[in-house]
Structure 1
C-alpha cells in the first residue's frame, strides 16, 4: 500500500475514534447591510488565519487539535480551510468530508468560525487552470457545493462558503471571462448552496486572482445576503496603496460585507518567495490599519512553514516576521 494511502487510513481511524467530543456552539452569522452580525445583532469583524489543505496536513502529521489551539492562541476568531479539487478527488467526497467534520469540531472547541474555500485558480468557464492541483469543472464545483451545503446546513460554525478561490484568465492565457459570464456562473453556485443551506453566506471574489472588484460598482452579483472577497497582496499595486485599494475593492465595504480571505507578505530570501507577495511591515501595518478603519474582515495566508507567504517557521509554530505582525493585529 502506498505511503499516502496508509496515512489516509490511519487518519480516518483517528477521526472515527475521536468522534465529536467537543460541543462549543457558536452563534449563527448573517448579513445585515454591510456587516456580518451574530444572532444577538452584534457586529462581527473576522480576523483569522488560513491553514493548508487538510490533505497536506494529514500527510505532514499535523492534522490535530493542537493546530487549532494555536490558531485561537494567536487571537484568531476564524479559520479558512482551503479544499483543492485534486485533494477532494484523491480522498473521495465521503472520506474528505470526514476530515472537514474533524476540523470543524476542533475549530468549534476553540471558538473559531470556519470558511470552507473551493481552492481553485483559473477560468471556470473555459476549464483552464493555473496548475494541475486546481483542475476542476463547473459540474464538479456545483457538486462540491451541493455536497458541502447539505452537510453543514445546520452547523452555525461553518459561517462562510467561498465559492471559488481565485478567478483569473492568467492575463488571457486561460481564455476570456466577462463579468456577466462570471456573475451568471456564481449565481448558479449560489442557487445550489441556498437550496440546500438557506442560511449560508456565499463569498464571491473578483478578477485578477480575486483582487479586482471594480465591476461590483455598476453590476453587483444579483443575490442577497452575500459577501465579497479580496486578495490584496502587496505587489498587486504600487505605493501609495490605500487610495488604490479603495478604488479597486475597498469601496465595496460601503454596501456589502467585505473580507480579505488572503493577505500576507514575505521577504525575498524566504522559501518560496514570489510575486505578488514580496513586501514588509509597511504593507502589513498599512493594510491592517486600513481594514480596521473600514471594518473589513481579513484572514492572513498561511499558517504553514512551507506554503508561502509563511506565517510560521516550523511546526513548533514559531512566527515569521509577518506572523508576528498579524498575531499582534489579532
Structure 2
C-alpha cells in the first residue's frame, strides 16, 4: 500500500480550504461555504474525518455538455439540477464528464463543465463526484480508449481538485472489454498512481469491466491504493433484485470492501425506458431499496435526474414521474419516506368504487382502492360480464398525473388485462385519456395529466389472454397518483 490512514493530509486551517474553493470561481475566500469533511476508506466503509459513515447517497445529473442535445426537451441549466438534487436531500451529486478525447482542451472544458458545479457543491454543502463517464472498451485495440487519454484527463483534473474535500473522483465510468479484472487492473493502476501524485487524499471510485459489473476481482486483487472504493452498476436487465442476486452482484463483496452503486434506475416499459432499464417501482425499486436500506454503509447514486437520458425522472416538460416510474420514488427515498409500493400508497385509497359485477363478495369493487395489492385484495368480475367496468369516486377533485392498473394474479399466465380504456371525469364530463391494447404488463402505469378530476372509469374489453383460465377481469388495484 502506498499510504495509510494515519498519514493522510488535512487542511492546516479552514481558511486554506475556503481559499482553494474560492479560487475555482475567482470569488473571495470569505464568500465560500466551508468544505465538507474529507472522505476516506476504513475497512468496508467510506467514512469522514471523524470516522462517521458517509455512504454517499444521491443522484446523477445529466452531463452539462449534453444539456441542449435533445431538440424536443425543455432543457434546464445544470445548476438548477444540482440545486434540486441538494433540495431533495442528496448528500452527493454525480457529475458525468462525457466528451473527453486525446485532444480535448481540458482547461476550457473544465472552466465550462466542471468548475462551476464543484463550486456550487461547495456552496450547497454536498459532495460531488467528478465522473469520467466513458462507456468504451479500454486498451490499445481499435476503437478502445488508450490509457494515455485517461491519464491526460486526470493529470489535469487531479491537481485542480485534489485539495477540495467535497470532491470525489470516479476514474472510468464503464470499461467494457477486455472482460478481465487482471487486464483492467494493469491498465488502470498507472492512472491511479498518476492521480496520487497531486491528489494523494481524494476518495477514488473504481469501476470494472463489463459496464462496471466485475468488481469481484477487487476482493482477491485490489487496486494498490488505500483510499479506493469499488463501483457497481445495476439495472433491471440483470434480473429481479432478490437478496440472492444482489448478494452475488455486489452485496457479498460489500461485506469486505467498500462498494458504491453509482448507477441504478428503472422506468416501466415504454417511452421512458429501454431494454436495459425497463422495470417497475413495485417489482424492482421497492425490493432494491429494501436491500440497500438493510445495508446502509453501501453508497448509491440513482441514474438520472433528467428529462432526456433514460431512465429519466421527469417527462420532457419537467413533470416528476411518479407511480411505477422512479422519479418520485427516488425523491421520497432521499427524504427518508417509507419504502412502499405505489400500488399500496396512492390518492384513491379508501374511496368509493362501483363495479359492473363481482364474482363474489370477497372480491368486490372496494378491493380496487384498499391498498392491498395481494391476490386476496383483487376485484374479480363475474362470469359472463362482457365489458367489466369499474368507476371510482374521488373524495375531492384533484390533479391526476397517472393511474397504475395492477392486474392478474401471482403465478397466473395470460391473466393480466389485455384491452381496456381509462376515462376521467371533470366538470366538463367524461373524457378518455388512454386506450390500451395488447397489454402484457401486470403493473401498467397510465399517464393522465388532467386537473380537477373527481372520478375515474376503467372499461375492460378483453380481460385476459389465457384460453384455459376463466375470461374474467382480475384487478388488484387502481392506484391514482396526483
TM-score interval (norm. to shorter): 0.7 to 0.9
Deviation string 1:19-67 (CA, Å, 9 cap, x unpaired) is 5454342111111111111122211121111011111236776335332
Cα contact 1:258–1:296 (8 A) shared by 2: yes
Q: 1 CA distance for matches of 2:198 and 2:39?
A: 17
Aligned residue for 2:187, secondary structure, equals helix
Alignment match of 1:168 (pick from 162, 176, 187): 176
Instruction: Name the structure 1 match of 2:161.
Output: 152
Write the mapping of 1:314-329 to structure 2, written as runs, cut at 5 A: 314=316, 316=318, 318-320=320-322, 321-329=325-333
Cα contact 1:204–1:228 (8 A) shared by 2: yes
Matched, 1:277 2:281: no
The alpha-carbon deviation at position 214 of structure 1 amounts to 2.5
Q: 1:24 to 1:312 in 2, by over 3 A?
A: farther
Cα contact 1:264–1:277 (8 A) shared by 2: yes
Aligned residue for 1:231, secondary structure, equals strand
Q: 1 CA distance for matches of 2:80 and 2:101?
A: 23
Q: 1 CA distance for matches of 2:242 and 2:210?
A: 17
Alignment match of 1:85 (pick from 77, 82, 99): 99
Write the mapping of 1:48-59 to structure 2, written as runs, cut at 5 A: 48-57=58-67
Q: 1 CA distance for matches of 2:137 and 2:158?
A: 23
The alpha-carbon deviation at position 278 of structure 1 amounts to 0.8
Aligned residue for 1:140, secondary structure, equals helix
Cα contact 2:237–2:275 (8 A) shared by 1: yes
Ranges in structure 2 where 5+ consecutive residues have no aligned partner? 1-22, 335-482
Matched, 1:139 2:148: yes
TM-score when scaled to structure 1? 0.83
Matched, 1:222 2:224: yes
Q: 2 CA distance for matches of 1:65 and 1:304?
A: 12
> Which has more radius of gyration?
2
Ranges in structure 1 where 5+ consecutive residues have no aligned partner? 1-15, 130-134, 170-175
Q: 2 CA distance for matches of 1:195 and 1:263?
A: 32
More helix by share: 1
Write the mapping of 1:243-258 to structure 2, written as runs, cut at 5 A: 243-258=244-259
Write the mapping of 1:166-205 to structure 2, written as runs, cut at 5 A: 166-169=174-177, 176-205=178-207
Deviation string 1:223-244 (CA, Å, 9 cap, x unpaired) is 32210000011111x3363212
Cα contact 2:237–2:276 (8 A) shared by 1: yes
What do you get for the CA RMSD once the two structures are aligned? 2.4
Aligned residue for 1:230, secondary structure, equals strand
Q: 2 CA distance for matches of 1:278 and 1:286?
A: 15
Q: 2 CA distance for matches of 1:51 and 1:301?
A: 8
Q: 2 CA distance for matches of 1:89 and 1:313?
A: 35
Q: 1:266 to 1:38 in 2, by over 3 A?
A: same
Q: 1 CA distance for matches of 2:258 and 2:212?
A: 15
Q: 2 CA distance for matches of 1:241 and 1:267?
A: 19
Instruction: Figure out how many residues of one structure are paired with residues of the other and give that number.
Output: 300
Cα contact 2:219–2:256 (8 A) shared by 1: no
Alignment match of 1:26 (pick from 14, 19, 36): 36
Aligned residue for 1:261, secondary structure, equals strand
TM-score when scaled to structure 2? 0.58
Q: 2 CA distance for matches of 1:156 and 1:248?
A: 30
Q: Which has the higher contact order (CA 8 A, sep 6+)?
A: 1
Cα contact 2:172–2:206 (8 A) shared by 1: yes
Matched, 1:43 2:39: no
More strand by share: 2
Q: 2 CA distance for matches of 1:127 and 1:324?
A: 43
Q: 1:101 to 1:127 in 2, by over 3 A?
A: farther
Q: 1 CA distance for matches of 2:230 and 2:100?
A: 25
